[in-house]
């Protein structure tokens, strides 16, 4: 009986580790205009943004919009809605579209 309890404990631990691994960020690439590609890793609370050779961490903020992430210090803001994303960098706004690769 002890051996099967250990096996059950191992299976539960493996299931918890797999669930934690599935909650990690998934990178997405957005095309903003013709020349700019932006990579974003979204998690429920943060977004990692790679923009023009710079990396930014943005915090999710409460908003009427779905995915609203802000880095006030760098003056960068992202509002993601399905396959569209609004990117604000200072006073500049760019509309971006999710890039789908087959």
Q: Are 79 and 85 in contact (CB under 8 A)?
A: yes
Residue 5 CB contacts under 8 Å (≥ 6 apart), including other chains: none
CATH of domain 25-98: 2.40.128
Model confidence over 66-82: pLDDT tens digits?
A: 799 999 999 999 999 98
Q: Which helix (H) or strand (E) holds 57?
A: strand 54-60
Question: In this structure, what is the dihedral angle of CA atoms 66, 61, 74, 35, given to the nearest 10 degrees?
Answer: -10
Provide the CA 69 distance to its chain's centre, in angstroms.
10
What is the reported pLDDT for 84?
94
Residue ranges per domain, the chain? 25-98
Q: Structure pTM?
A: 0.70
Among left, alpha and beta (phi > 0; psi -120 to 50; other), residue 86 is beta
13 pLDDT above the threshold of 50: no
């Amino acid at each position: 009986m002890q051996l099967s309890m250990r096996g059950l404990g191992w299976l539960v631990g493996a299931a918890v580790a797999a669930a934690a691994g599935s909650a990690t960020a998934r990178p997405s690439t957005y095309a903003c205009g013709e020349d700019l590609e932006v990579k974003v890793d979204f998690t429920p609370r943060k977004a990692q943004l790679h923009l023009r050779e710079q990396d930014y961490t943005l915090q999710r903020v409460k908003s009427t919009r779905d995915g609203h992430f802000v880095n006030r210090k760098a003056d960068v803001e992202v509002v993601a809605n399905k396959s569209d994303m609004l990117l604000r960098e200072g006073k500049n706004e760019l509309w971006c579209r999710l890039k789908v690769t087959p």
